[in-house]
Every structure is written in structure tokens, then in C-alpha cells.
């Protein structure tokens, strides 16, 4: 019996408007709340800009580096604090 290699799965990578649309869709599913702590979080500033310390972050369950895709099932909305805790980083606030 000959063993056939499994086809390589190609991860989906989005940029620009499709990535923004993915974030908006996940934000709607989360009903505007962090999917870790449950706190309300805004998607963007009133003028449409994004502020890293105040607005919702799109976080991957399986990271890009581990082969994760930009699909609705592989992302979560997180508040900045929960996202920072996940990565163990110290973001300075100015």
C-alpha cells in the first residue's frame, strides 16, 4: 500500500478592506464585548480611527505563525488589556 502525502493547507490572509470587514463581522458576533472578560469595547473612535489602548483588537486563536487563517472561526474580539495579557507584552501608555 502506497502512502500519499496530505495536501498542504494554505492559510487565508486578508488585507485592507476584507480584513476590516472580518473584524466588523466578529465585532457584531461579540455584541461589542471582549470575548475573554466581557467588557464593552468600541470598534473605532468616533472619527473612524483606531486607538490601540481603547479600541477592540482582532486576535487569532491559531496564530499566523502556526498556520492560522483570517477566517471568522479563528478570530476573537478582545479588549486591549486581554490582548496584551495573552501576548505577555508591556505596552507603554503615553
Nearest to 27 by CA among 52, 59, 66: 59
Mean pLDDT by 10 residues, the chain (94 residues): 77 94 97 97 93 94 93 97 86 54
**Grid coordinates in use for 82?**
486581554
Write down the pLDDT at residue 94: 46
Write down the pLDDT at residue 61: 96
Q: Structural domains in the chain?
A: 16-87 (3.40.1800.10)
Alpha helices in 5-65 (DSSP H): 16-29
Amino acid at each position: 500500500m502506497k502512502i500519499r502525502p496530505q495536501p498542504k493547507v494554505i492559510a487565508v490572509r486578508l488585507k485592507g478592506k476584507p480584513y476590516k470587514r472580518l473584524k466588523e463581522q466578529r465585532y457584531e458576533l461579540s455584541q461589542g464585548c471582549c470575548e475573554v472578560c466581557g467588557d464593552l469595547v468600541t470598534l473605532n473612535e468616533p472619527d473612524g480611527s483606531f486607538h490601540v489602548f481603547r479600541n477592540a483588537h482582532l486576535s487569532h486563536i491559531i496564530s499566523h505563525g502556526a498556520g492560522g487563517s483570517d477566517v471568522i472561526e479563528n478570530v476573537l474580539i478582545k479588549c486591549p488589556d486581554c490582548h496584551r495579557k495573552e501576548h505577555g507584552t508591556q505596552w507603554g501608555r503615553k
